[in-house]
Structure 1
């Protein structure tokens, strides 16, 4: 009877997580609104677009804090709270009358709501399925990616037929209902017990303080930062790279956005499922190699439309796969029970990475400087991925065999 209840509970949690992640992924339609918000506020598009940089940083910071909130209130209450805040923030954004209010509502509040729900619900769902961590991550994070695609059509329709304020209002209500519904289906995962066999092999759960004392923790953080910076920078400026660097027409360059979305989701599914079959450090090494091929193409190849499309597809594929594989990879190294906290600090690399690429480009005057930084960091990260060992001295490949 208890097994039946447990199976039902974890399936409901998975369904709730997928619904929630789909709604949370809707924030990645943000670029649709920049031009209209700039007109409304009489501000340059670049200043309006900065709100998404703030959103990304707030999302990463909230993700690192969500573990403490879950411990105190439980996954259901925190997710429902995140849904209410997300809906309220989108409704407030609809009526922002100046740039400061936009940065507060669209940047800090939407980012905080999204980040609170994103990592916590993902980690909780993975804990329910310790035997299928890669597949479950692929389902949850795939839903997050599909959310940006699904809401793109919803938001574009209402922008054309209802205007800016109406679109934000409808988006806010729909996203809030979905997150509240998803949260109400979730249950906190039970504490994972380490078997005698695993204990004999040196497996254990590390607290955040213990994890941070190991060099492996910071090695993983560097790899994550590198792949996030590469992915977020290229995704953010793909159209501009296509036009000013590859000299494509605006329409041809804009097609890169669709290619990036497909490659991103493909990376999440392919590398997520592969990570249940081979060592996850090898999967990350594959992601780093594919990303490196893309960056090398942008730096050293004779660029035309097809080379440009292939290069951005490589980088987006690797970025999507990394976001899927990393929660399970961190749990392999430091245990499942403290995953939300341990991965939460590493996830700050998502927010920091989104800023570093843009800062380097603005200081050194263009894309090339950021591409060279990506190139150097990818080589260092690839060496780490191929040589890193678990804190107990085992290789990741041994962990897969033992499992």
Structure 2
């Protein structure tokens, strides 16, 4: 690669990391539930539903990001994402009822976050076809670190300013970071087939969706997202209800999950450049299975509980890091944003299905049993799935070789 292009792709990487860090700030939402509940005179559970809507809107926007990038380019869409994010937080600061909160903090902020997240990630991965796993780890690791970094930023803001001013300042800081990152980004060039690991050609979204492998990958992704998001969301409650930990001890689950999640992103992301990515996903599924089996069937001590949720969080973090590159292995790089975008809807679906099952069938255990069954199916899929056209390509290669006995 010539020096000018090399400089552009590293600028894009820096811009993507900056943008991802700011977009990851939405995962500090739980810091605001209690104060919003007091302000709106509504139960915390109803206030917290805004984050479920945010996750769903994020996933839907991610599925549309490919079309937006195709029409406007990565820089313009990322700038618009940053401006909408700032507007969403500003309007949230003025929300006086649950409907306004759901519209502003849920749908608008979620849509803005999703439009920037998957598009900038996929574009960055396309710039580094030879190091897709490492680049995914850097970008998605920054997204995870954003929740940790903004935890301290938002707590500091809350300690010095009102709730309304905190939302406005949060929006201003996040918007400035996303826009600054966007200005460093450039659309990745089309990738020749030779640069793509294992894929014979680029599948359009319509072509990819006609392949059974596409839906196998989608179910595997949905399963790990459901397990990760559900356990992350209720870890403290599980510790208090199942393990009978004190509230202070159970709260340590948040730190355990954060460390395990980030470790999974970095470790499995780097590993995915050194071995087949589908085998990395198999390892992640085994880790999630171990965690879920422990939660369901082991006599839980504090140590076993923290180990179990760490396994689930490690699996979740690693899977969402490796998946963009895995989808590109199966269906090509050039249509990655669209092809991964529909699969990424599993993130939004997984974020609400676990809670719905728990509310309908009596709590944590029902969801855990569903997740366990899905993990077993997903593991079987990952062990048997083959890239589209792999068998045909081997047959053609065999036919093209000279064989003994042929005249």
Same fold (TM over 0.5): yes
Structure 1: 4+ residue segments shifted above 3 A: none
Q: Distance in 1 between matches of 2:384 and 2:369?
A: 23
**How big is the shift at 1:394?**
5.4
Aligned to 1:127: 126
Q: Distance in 2 between matches of 1:113 and 1:246?
A: 38
SS in 1 for 2:344: helix
**Aligned alpha-carbon RMSD (Å):** 1.3
Alignment of 1:299-310 (within 5 A): 299-310=296-307
Given that 2:78 and 2:115 are in contact with CA atoms closer than 8 Å, whether structure 1 keeps it comes out as yes
Q: Distance in 2 between matches of 1:93 and 1:38?
A: 13
Q: Distance in 2 between matches of 1:282 and 1:51?
A: 36
SS in 2 for 1:33: helix
CA deviation string 1:39-80 (max 9, x = no partner): 000000000000000000000000000000000000000000
Aligned to 1:356: 353
**How big is the shift at 1:121?**
0.1
Aligned to 2:396: none
Given that 2:193 and 2:199 are in contact with CA atoms closer than 8 Å, whether structure 1 keeps it comes out as no
**How big is the shift at 1:393?**
2.1
CA deviation string 1:340-388 (max 9, x = no partner): 0000000000000011100000001110000000110001100110110
Q: Distance in 2 between matches of 1:198 and 1:91?
A: 42
Aligned to 1:342: 339
Aligned to 1:211: 208
Aligned to 2:75: 76
Aligned to 1:272: 269
Paired residues, number: 392
Q: Distance in 2 between matches of 1:243 and 1:33?
A: 22
Alignment of 1:257-336 (within 5 A): 257-336=254-333
Aligned to 1:137: 136
Instruction: Give structure 1 stretches of 5+ with no counterpart.
Output: 396-403
Q: Distance in 2 between matches of 1:120 and 1:57?
A: 16
Alignment of 1:15-94 (within 5 A): 15-94=14-93
Cα separation, partners in 2 of 1:394 and 1:289, compared to 1, 3 Å: farther
Given that 2:199 and 2:331 are in contact with CA atoms closer than 8 Å, whether structure 1 keeps it comes out as no
Cα separation, partners in 2 of 1:223 and 1:198, compared to 1, 3 Å: closer
SS in 2 for 1:191: coil
SS in 2 for 1:131: coil
Q: Distance in 2 between matches of 1:146 and 1:295?
A: 25
TM-score by length of 2: 0.95
**How big is the shift at 1:9?**
0.3
**How big is the shift at 1:311?**
0.5
Q: Distance in 2 between matches of 1:53 and 1:206?
A: 32
**How big is the shift at 1:95?**
1.0
Aligned to 2:379: 382
Larger Rg: 2
Aligned to 1:98: 97
Aligned to 1:13: 12
Structure 1 residue 225 corresponds to structure 2 residue 222: yes
**How big is the shift at 1:194?**
1.4
Q: Distance in 1 between matches of 2:176 and 2:192?
A: 35
CA deviation string 1:124-169 (max 9, x = no partner): 0000000000000000000000000000001011112212112111
TM-score by length of 1: 0.96
Q: Distance in 2 between matches of 1:234 and 1:319?
A: 10
Q: Distance in 1 between matches of 2:124 and 2:130?
A: 12
Q: Distance in 1 between matches of 2:22 and 2:199?
A: 39
